[in-house]
Chains A and B, each alone.
Chain A
Amino acid sequence: DAKTTQPTSMDCAEGRAANLPCNHSTISGNEYVYWYRQIHSQGPQYIIHGLKNNETNEMASLIITEDRKSSTLILPHATLRDTAVYYCIVRGLDTGRRALTFGSGTRLQVQP
């Protein structure tokens, strides 16, 4: 699986957009980018995934660069409830592995 690099922590003001970057320069053509988040004392929660096109759902938007070597998760109007650790995961099925490989993630603190 491609290795991902994320900043350790970020702050964001409540109501503003939170932009969380992820580098995955070794991604291969059939690997997807997944984002999960983990709120304190809870299990991780799926947010969004993408292959090469930008994606949007009710939680967030995912912007993937044209060369697919990096991506950005955007929370358009961050709230205090969005304070969590955000994990960027790159995974394809070629490896035969079905499990997710979590790194250390980005700890997002939304400030009031």
Chain B
Amino acid sequence: GAGVSQTPSNKVTEKGKYVELRCDPISGHTALYWYRQSLGQGPEFLIYFQGTGAADDSGLPNDRFFAVRPEGSVSTLKIQRTERGDSAVYLCASSLSPTGALLPEQFFGPGTRLTVL
């Protein structure tokens, strides 16, 4: 079946511009996560959605970053006034809702490589 897809696969923008990154999760997955990965580092959590609402946005680095998931499926990560330090691979993952003490398997997309010049 279809996995998590992310578009675009690559995005090059200029400092100060606005960008949108899209994530299509696996159908039926109510949980959706955004992570950011800098070169040589592990992925770093940004925001988690349960359904349409952001259940945990504690990883967003500042108010230039915002994400939405209006219908509980597709999500868009929005970055305003981009800075060179925002350059990274942005990963999206989806999963079923957690039940009990066990975290369900997260399925990751291939990521969007953002380069801010």
Give me the interface of A with B, judged by CB distance under 8 Å: 30, 32, 34, 41-46, 49, 85, 87, 91-93, 96-105
Can you name 4 extra interface pairs (CB under 8 A) apart from A43-B109, A101-B45?
Answer: A43-B93, A44-B106, A46-B105, A99-B56
Q: Name the residue in A42, A43, A49, A102 with the highest tally of chain B Cβ atoms < 10 Å from its Cβ.
A: A43
- Per the bound structure, the CA–CA distance linking A102 and B43 in Å amounts to 6
- Per the bound structure, the CA–CA distance linking A100 and B46 in Å amounts to 10
Using C-beta atoms within 8 Å of the partner chain, give the interface range for chain B: 20 to 34
Q: Which residues of A contact B55 (CB under 8 A)?
A: 98
- Per the bound structure, the CA–CA distance linking A63 and B43 in Å amounts to 25
Contact at B106–A100, with CB atoms within 8 Å?
Answer: yes
Q: Which residues of B contact A93 (CB under 8 A)?
A: 98, 100-103
